[in-house]
Chain A
Amino acid sequence: MAAHVLPPAPPVQRPRVLLVATAFAAAATFMGFVVLLGIYLNFRAGVLAAGSTWLPEGAKIPLQQPNATFMTLLLSVISMAWAVNAISKNDRVNAYLALGLTITFGLASIVMTWYLWTIMGLDIDSGAQGVLIYTITGAHVAMMIVSVVFVALMSIRALGGQFNSRQHDGISAAALYWYVMVAVFALIWLIIYVTK
């Protein structure tokens, strides 16, 4: 006799509140940086139009450290995507590994930016340049810290078994905020570090 089985239950329709809220929060944060970078470009254009150099005498922003930070953050994008992919397949071991790697990459980027501040010889009270560069990069470090804490919290929840293939909004939300953080760094890298 043929076995009669019920069709699989439809997936649980969960409100994706955390993901939606994170998307709006990320957009708001992104706009804050867009304005800061717009003010930076406006001030720099004014100084260059007056025939001066943008960075004050004695200040030098090397490119090696920003490049290393950018590469690290790009790697973190891959590890974050790996974590989302793994959790969506219920592959917990790979998810934990990827989340741990992402947090490590984030911490390394914070340390690298801190190191860059110590070697670039730019005084914060040297004028608009110092205020703008330290405010923008400092705000981005704050964003990195928030992102790392967000991923760490979601990792703890994942370790507690709260996420699975059908419900992984927390990890997706943390990933979204992480990607936006890296996109902001890409803008900073181009505008502040490369085109000096």
Chain B
Amino acid sequence: MALTESRPTTGHTADGSEQSASFSNSPMTVLGSGDHKSIGVVYIVAGLLFGIAGWIASAVLSAHQASDFLSDNAYLTLLSHSRVGLILLAVIPIFIGIGTYVVPLQVGANTIAFPRAAAMALWTWLISSAVLIVANCIDGGLTGGSEKAFVLGLLSLAAVVLSLCLAAICVVTTVVALRTPGMRLDRVPMTSWSLFIACSVWLITLPAIVAELLLIWVDVRYGNAQTFSAEGVPWQMVSWISTQPQVYAALLPAFGILADVIATMSGRRLPQRNLFLGAIGAFGVLSVGVYAQRVLYPDYADQAVWVGMSILIVLPVLLMFAVVGSALKAGKPKLASPFALSVITLLVALLGTLAGALLVISPLELRETDAFAMGQFNLIVGAALIGAVAGLMYWAPKITGRKAVDAIGGLNVLVLLGGAVLAGLPMCIIGFSTRFTGLEGATDALTWVSAVGCVLLAVGALLGLLGLLSAARRGAEEAGPNPWESGQTLEWACDSPPPTGNFGELAVVRSAEPLLDEEA
């Protein structure tokens, strides 16, 4: 058997007790670990820390627009760093981390596919991310002036993307190939399904960035540095991941997480489950945005494909609303923080997609300035962050073995809702200033409000981390395998935290909610 295909059995210590992948494992244990739970936790913690930095950078950008205190070079560096950083260093890695931790448990696998490759992807991503930040700080990155730092930024960004692709392959292969008997693809839990779609979309779009970085690197290293590495071109070639429709791909896993949370909290099977699966799939198809870049397709913004995709993508979100609405109507949901965070994820996502639909309507002239697009970016990435925090609060007992302090989650509901709305909507309103001259006087005030919203999102990411740590504290109430008492999917059938190897013998799965079948 190949080394890469080995599956660990449930581990035992010398005294015969099962080893558990505790949240409080020592750093040295995590460093050499191929255990999917340790890898997932490192992704989540590092992604949240990078997210805090990214949202603070966004707040500084907004403040600069109101009071103009940065140099042009510093502004561009901060812009590229905050946009690309929030996507590639925060949102996608947090979802990859959740997927690496949760997907093997949900599909009934002993481990993630290619555990060593998953570990390699994690450490490559972490080190490359640190190098990318250093490159940005020493006048490198996509908009930098120092050639050596610029090349360092290119190579580290390429390494970040490649490592995320490798991690995505591990997650998606787990969903496709390591499902327990009886778990057909249409029976996988919603989080696993949404990560299957998201990883597929990331894998067919993110390599485009590597290809473009390669072109830029060859131009600056061997060419005449006049074409692809000319001033402004590198940022133009990479910025498409932070604009619609590609930015929606970063939001995809949040839909699966919120569906799982709402089903558990309402205590019933999700009604019209296949409709929700289809809506996530449709959202994934409509978020493929690799073509929407000027270097590849100069007039894409005038084409029906871009306009149509931007408008049609509202429909899957409305479908999800309908399904969630009927789930809430049928059940009596527990009003815990993951539930509230899931509902506001959907609300903010709807706002973001509606803003995206408005953006493509030419007579509104919303593309005349960057403000509206920046507001829409804040809404979408804010929704993704809220969805990720909802997932963290939901699985915190599984990850740590103890219940989290729900007051932190409750406070975070207010902070994140306020943060996303304040960061996004004022910028969208400023976008209308080309049509309505009366708005010009309020621009500075609205920009400051947006800066406050970005700070709140940074605080929300910090509270998400604190929520996870609150569950890890000693003395907290033991969670048990099924702390919500209404868990429906297989991760709630194993101990909290799960032992090495996750499961013993599993019964053949006969529906999408195997734990409810067991009760019946």
A binding-site residues for B, Cβ under 8 Å: 15-18, 20-21, 24-25, 27-29, 31-33, 35-36, 38-39, 42, 124-128, 130-132, 134-135, 138-139, 157, 162, 170
Contact = CB atoms under 8 A, between A and B. Distances in A.
B177 A31 contact: no
B290 A31 contact: yes
Contact of B204 (A15, A31, A138): A31
B427 interface: no
Most chain B beta-carbon contacts within 10 A, residue among A24, A25, A125, A138: A24
A127 B224 contact: yes
B208 A20 contact: no
Nearest to B221: A124
A39 B295 contact: yes
B406 interface: no
Given A16-B177, A25-B169, A28-B204, A128 B227 contact: yes
Contacts of A15: 5, 113, 177-178
B235 to A, nearest CB: 16
30 contacts: A15-B5, A15-B177, A15-B178, A16-B177, A17-B5, A17-B173, A17-B177, A18-B5, A20-B173, A20-B177, A21-B169, A24-B168, A24-B172, A25-B169, A28-B169, A28-B204, A29-B207, A31-B207, A31-B208, A35-B207, A35-B296, A38-B291, A38-B296, A42-B295, A42-B298, A125-B223, A130-B223, A131-B218, A157-B2, A170-B2
Contacts of B298: 42
B227 A35 contact: no
Contacts of A131: 215, 218-219, 222-223, 227-228
B114 interface: yes
Contacts of A138: 218
Contacts of A132: 215
A17 B178 contact: yes
B414 interface: no
A189 B269 CA distance: 53
B208 to A, nearest CB: 4
Contacts of B173: 17, 20-21, 24
B113 to A, nearest CB: 5
B405 to A, nearest CB: 39
Interface string B159-182: 000000100111011001110000
Given A130-B223, A131-B223, A134-B218, A35 B212 contact: yes
B493 to A, nearest CB: 20
B226 A127 contact: yes
B143 interface: no
Contacts of A170: 2
B224 A17 contact: no
A124 B222 contact: yes
B211 A33 contact: yes
B210 interface: yes
Contacts of A16: 177
Nearest to A125: B224
Given A15-B178, A42-B296, A127-B226, A139 B290 contact: no
B185 interface: no
Contact of B290 (A21, A35, A130, A162): A35
A42 B299 CA distance: 11
B1 to A, nearest CB: 8
Contacts of A18: 2, 4-5
B297 A42 contact: yes
Given A16-B177, A21-B173, A39 B2 contact: no
Interface residues of B, number: 42
A73 to B, nearest CB: 21
Contacts of B169: 21, 24-25, 28
Given A35-B290, A127-B224, 12 more contacts: A15-B113, A16-B177, A17-B178, A18-B2, A21-B114, A21-B173, A28-B206, A36-B215, A131-B222, A131-B223, A135-B215, A139-B214
A125 B222 contact: yes
Interface string B329-344: 0000000000000000
Nearest 5 CB-CB pairings of A with B: A32-B207, A35-B208, A32-B211, A131-B223, A21-B173
Contacts of A162: 1-2
A31 B242 CA distance: 19
A56 to B, nearest CB: 12
Given A16-B177, A131-B219, A28 B207 contact: yes
Contacts of B206: 28
Contacts of B224: 125-127
A191 to B, nearest CB: 14
B287 interface: no
B205 interface: yes
Contacts of A33: 211
A39 B208 CA distance: 11
B178 A27 contact: no
Interface in B194-218: 199-200, 203-208, 210-212, 214-215, 218
Given A38-B296, A127-B227, A131-B228, A21 B113 contact: yes
B295 A135 contact: no
B452 to A, nearest CB: 38
A131 B145 CA distance: 21
Contacts of B168: 24
Interface in B482-511: none
A17 B177 CA distance: 6
B59 to A, nearest CB: 33
Contacts of A39: 212, 215, 295-296
Contacts of B228: 128, 131
A174 B88 CA distance: 30
Contacts of A35: 207-208, 211-212, 290, 296
Contacts of A42: 295-298
A131 B228 CA distance: 9
Contact of B203 (A24, A126, A135): A24
Contacts of B113: 15, 17, 20-21
A18 B227 CA distance: 39
Contacts of B172: 20, 24
Contacts of A27: 203-204
A24 B226 CA distance: 35
A162 B418 CA distance: 58
